[in-house]
């Protein structure tokens, strides 16, 4: 029964790989706890490339483009811990190197994420590009920009206190909007299925009117936007009272949308 509640494709790596990931995660988490690097909106925003990195690595796992020694580290959900370890280590290194100029930490952290993301995406593209999938990925991204912008504008207009979440709140809304749009496009135009049971239920409700491009997926998109907006609004007070913890937790919320969205766009482009 529990397996039915988990996304399809959820697996655990072989024991040696699992031990390496768990030990590395514990070590980096302990080091972060000891050093306590400052958490700001800019630094959490700098984690966006790392969110996409995990998605790109998992695409390589899905299309079987990784060496057998590395593939278990990119399975789901192990890839989240793998990238978390790399991002945490990069944050520690950037914080130590730029202790005198802390304003550069965010830029260094973002640059490190991009430097790792680019070659991973390049390897994915090298496996073969689907013209149809790439086109629909571009359509999904283009469609998301005005939708996310309208959702953020509406949220901050009717709940002005949500603006306190700043760029991290906007990233959360954008990430979940992109996940909603790309999922709807993938199921409607490319024949992809949804792996998460709850999401699949929303996408498979019969009798809904169909909209251009996203078909019946508009309900899934609407729910994603409503939930993301509500969470951002609820986090506004937390961010004002405890900025470090608030921004960090809101960053996790953003990752839950941006990660799957990036996975969709890359996978559609190479496997559709």
pTM: 0.91
Across all residues in the chain, what is the average pLDDT? Answer: 91
Q: What is the reported pLDDT for 53?
A: 97
DSSP 8-state code for residue 256: H
pLDDT at 37 over 80: yes
- Is 74 in contact with 58 (CB distance < 8 Å)? yes
pLDDT at 43 over 60: yes
Provide CB contacts within 8 A for 40, sequence distance 6+. Answer: 106, 243, 244, 247
- Is 132 in contact with 186 (CB distance < 8 Å)? no
Q: What is the reported pLDDT for 206?
A: 61
- Is 233 in contact with 258 (CB distance < 8 Å)? no
Pair of tokens at residue 128 = 């073969």
Q: 47-56, 184-193, 226-235, 236-245: which range is least confident on average?
A: 184-193
pLDDT at 9 over 70: no
Average pLDDT over residues 212-219: 88
How far is residue 21 from each of residues 17, 47, 234, 260, measured CA to CA in Å?
A: 6, 20, 33, 21
Average pLDDT over residues 85-99: 90
- Is 25 in contact with 80 (CB distance < 8 Å)? no
pLDDT band at 8 (very low <50, low <70, confident <90, very high): low
pLDDT band at 12 (very low <50, low <70, confident <90, very high): confident
Residue ranges of alpha helices (H) inside the chain are 15-35, 41-45, 48-62, 78-97, 105-126, 131-158, 166-189, 197-203, 218-241, 243-271
* Closest to 181 in 3D by CA, of 215, 158, 132, 231: 215
């Amino acid at each position: 029964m529990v397996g039915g509640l988990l996304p399809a494709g959820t697996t655990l790596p072989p024991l040696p790989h699992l031990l390496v990931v768990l030990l590395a995660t514990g070590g980096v988490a302990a080091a972060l706890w000891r050093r306590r690097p400052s958490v700001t909106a800019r630094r959490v925003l700098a984690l966006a490339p790392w969110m996409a990195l995990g998605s790109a690595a998992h695409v390589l796992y899905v299309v079987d483009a990784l060496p057998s020694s590395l593939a278990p580290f990119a399975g789901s959900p192990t890839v989240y811990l793998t990238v978390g370890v790399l991002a945490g280590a990069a944050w520690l290194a950037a914080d130590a190197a730029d202790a005198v100029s802390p304003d550069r930490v965010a830029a260094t952290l973002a640059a490190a994420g991009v430097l790792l993301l680019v070659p991973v995406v390049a390897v994915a593209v090298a496996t073969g590009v689907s013209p149809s999938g790439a086109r629909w990925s571009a359509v999904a991204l283009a469609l998301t920009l005005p939708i996310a912008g309208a959702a953020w504008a509406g949220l901050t207009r009717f709940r002005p206190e949500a603006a306190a979440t700043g760029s991290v709140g906007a990233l959360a809304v954008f990430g979940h909007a992109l996940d909603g749009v790309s999922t709807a496009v993938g199921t409607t135009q490319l024949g992809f299925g949804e792996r998460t049971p709850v999401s699949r239920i929303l996408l498979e409700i019969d009798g809904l009117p169909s909209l251009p491009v996203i078909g019946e997926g508009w309900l899934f998109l609407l729910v994603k936007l409503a939930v993301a907006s509500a969470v951002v609004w609820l986090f506004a007070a937390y961010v004002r009272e405890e900025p470090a913890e608030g921004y960090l937790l809101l960053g996790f919320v953003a990752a839950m949308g941006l990660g799957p969205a990036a996975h969709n766009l890359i996978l559609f482009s190479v496997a559709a």
